[in-house]
Amino acid sequence: MTDTIKAVVFDLGRVLITWEPEQFYDTQIGEERRTAFFDEVPIHEANLDVDRGAPLKETIYALAEAHPKWADEIRMWHDRWLEMASPRIPHSVRLLRALKAKGIPVLALTNFGVETFEIAKGEYEFLSEFDEAYVSGHLKCIKPDAEIYAHLEQGSGYRGAELIFADDRPENIDAAAARGWHTHLFTTPKGWADRLVAEGLLSPEDAQ
């Protein structure tokens, strides 16, 4: 294991769990109508409010009342949320477990609502396997705000080059790199596996 890195930090959405709302809506209402829906309704902004700790159902249903033309589509964000947040990404889950088997602390740092995180934990057992989970809805702040990274450092006792962080969004990676963290822009599980091997955290066999 590298002399520097002492803990591995995972984002969740698009790293361990598929998160593609557009694809879900395309299957439900078609791409053309979905495009119009996302153009006319600030659904992603509402989701960020949930990630900051706002209540899920109240936030989404209030948005539906404000946009009656799209009320059914908006309520799907609450009523069928788990269908959007699926399936798991199996290779990434294996990497999480391989790191834990090596005794390497594994942390989660995620933009997730309080209720949606509980829903996801009920579906995905590996979300309870982290040594620590830093969830934006509980912390009332989101990536890439500096505050949420500071919460992880203060809570875990690790900081700077002791951490390596995988996330699918460049702005989240940049914010971590600015604090001296090692970072990996996640595009595929294979790329993340190769990086963990390169850092000496896993063997090639462990990372398969």
CB atoms within 10 A of CB 4: 13
In sequence order, the 6+-apart residues with CB closer than 8 A to the CB of 28 are 34, 73, 76
Asked if pLDDT for residue 79 goes beyond 70, the answer is yes
**CB 150, CB 170: distance < 8 Å:** no
114 lies in the same domain as 186: yes
Amino acid at 163: L
Q: What pLDDT shows up at residue 1?
A: 46
133 lies in the same domain as 118: yes
DSSP annotation of 17 = B
Q: What pLDDT shows up at residue 2?
A: 52
Question: Which phi and psi angles does 175 have, rounded to 5°?
Answer: -65, -35
pTM: 0.96
159 lies in the same domain as 66: no
Distance CA 137, CA 32 (A): 32
139 lies in the same domain as 177: yes
**CB 38, CB 22: distance < 8 Å:** yes
Query: How does pLDDT run across 119-169, given as a tens digit for each residue?
Result: 999 999 999 999 999 999 999 999 999 999 999 999 999 999 999 999 999
Q: What pLDDT shows up at residue 3?
A: 63
Q: Where are the alpha helices (DSSP H) in 80-143?
A: 81-84, 90-101, 114-123, 136-139
14 lies in the same domain as 30: no
| Full domain range(s) for residue 150 | 7-18+88-199
Residue 47 lies in a domain: yes
Final residue of a domain: which of 42, 57, 85?
Answer: 85
Residue 180 lies in a domain: yes
Query: How does pLDDT run across 17-69, given as a tens digit for each residue?
Result: 999 999 999 999 999 999 999 999 999 999 999 999 999 999 999 999 999 99
103 lies in the same domain as 148: yes
The tally of domains found in the chain comes to 2
Residue 206 lies in a domain: no
